[in-house]
Amino acid sequence: MKLKRHSKIVELIGKHDIETQEELADRLQEAGFRVTQATVSRDIRELKLTKVQGENGRQRYVVMQHPSSFSDKYIRILRDGYLSMDMAQNILVIKTVSGMAMAVAAALDAMHFYEIVGCIAGDDTIMCAVRSVDDTIVVMDKIRKMVTEQKQ
């Protein structure tokens, strides 16, 4: 049942601009799936769905590219240079190995995260302007996953 539901979710977000978990749950119920908000939330995490800006300027769910789909070069640069990160509202501050900030910032720019508006790099520190506080948390999670998946 879960596999069928996941397939239906991917189909629905491919056909419709679905903006919220509630809208996705409604569409699933219309398709005959009995789901709760908690189930939909879990499915979104398991399918690695993320929100992107649609043509109408509103956000919609899409299947997130798996970090391995990014060029291995960019992931390697991120992994090799990354030391830590912290946030100050919608500014993400990334600490890198000395001399690696520009390379890591360029790698982040090349990954085209919707949430990141732009990066400024010094010698060992990057400041990323992020669209919102919530988006900053999303980006931190994405980076954390990329760095830890590569180290395992």
Compute the Cα dihedral for 56, 62, 67, 69 and give only its sign: negative
Q: Are residues 31 and 50 in the same domain?
A: yes
Q: Are residues 137 and 75 in the same domain?
A: yes
Q: Which residue range forms the structural domain that includes residue 37?
A: 2-63
Q: Are residues 11 and 76 in the same domain?
A: no
Q: Are residues 52 and 93 in the same domain?
A: no
User: Nearest CA to 92 among 132, 64, 149, 146?
Assistant: 132
Write down the H helix ranges in 31-132.
Answer: 37-46, 72-81, 101-111
Residue 28: pLDDT band (50, 70, 90) is very high
Domain of 35, CATH number, reads 1.10.10.10
Domain of 73, CATH number, reads 3.30.1360.40
Q: What is the pLDDT of residues 88-121, one digit of tens each?
A: 999 999 999 998 999 899 889 888 888 999 999 9
Residue 64: pLDDT band (50, 70, 90) is low
How many C-beta atoms surround the C-beta of residue 50 within 10 A?
A: 17
Prediction pTM value: 0.55
Q: Are residues 80 and 132 in the same domain?
A: yes
pLDDT for position 53: 76
Distance, CA of 23 to CA of 149 (rounded, Å): 32
Which range, 43-47, 52-56, 128-132, is most confident? 128-132
